[in-house]
Amino acid sequence: MHPLTGSEPAGLISVDFFLSDPNNLFILAAAVVSGLMLLWPALTRARGGAAISATQAVQLVNQRQAVIVDVRDAQQYAAAHIAQARNVPLAEIEQKASSLPKNKPLVVVCDHGRDSAKAAAKLKQLGHAEVFTLEGGLRGWVQGGLPLAGKKA
């Protein structure tokens, strides 16, 4: 409403009119929820460290001497793992984090890529500046056609 004339400006729709219709509220709620669902992966990934592909991980190891940290349990690690990876099980990440270098990038790996985000967030919290997660975990590594070491390799 215009303060001097007391009438609505031509061409503008009142917010009250929009919010008074339940269908409009439903559409607005659906838009907000879908927007949050689209943002969720980006928000959760940012906490745990940037996700990188297997190719990017190899480049990071070759160019910047990154350390690959396998957070799966010892049995899974013994069965198959990325060559030169250090096994630091997720349950022990807090106790063993001090054995990892803080001056090199860390690439955290798990089986599917889910647990690595938790480990990466913890490593960042403990003072490791450059922490990345491997997209798809060890399965992403294998799908990229890269070799494994261990009993099943």
Nearest in space to 82 (alpha carbons), one of 63, 122, 110, 44: 110
> What's 15-80 look like in SS3?
HHHHHHCHHHHHHHHHHHHHHHHHHHHHHHHHHHCEEECHHHHHHHHHHHCCEEEECCCHHHHHHC
Q: Exactly one of 110, 117, 123, 131 is catalytic; which is it?
A: 110
Q: Is 110 in the active site?
A: yes
CA atoms of 118 and 44, how far apart (whole Å)? 10
Active site residues: 110
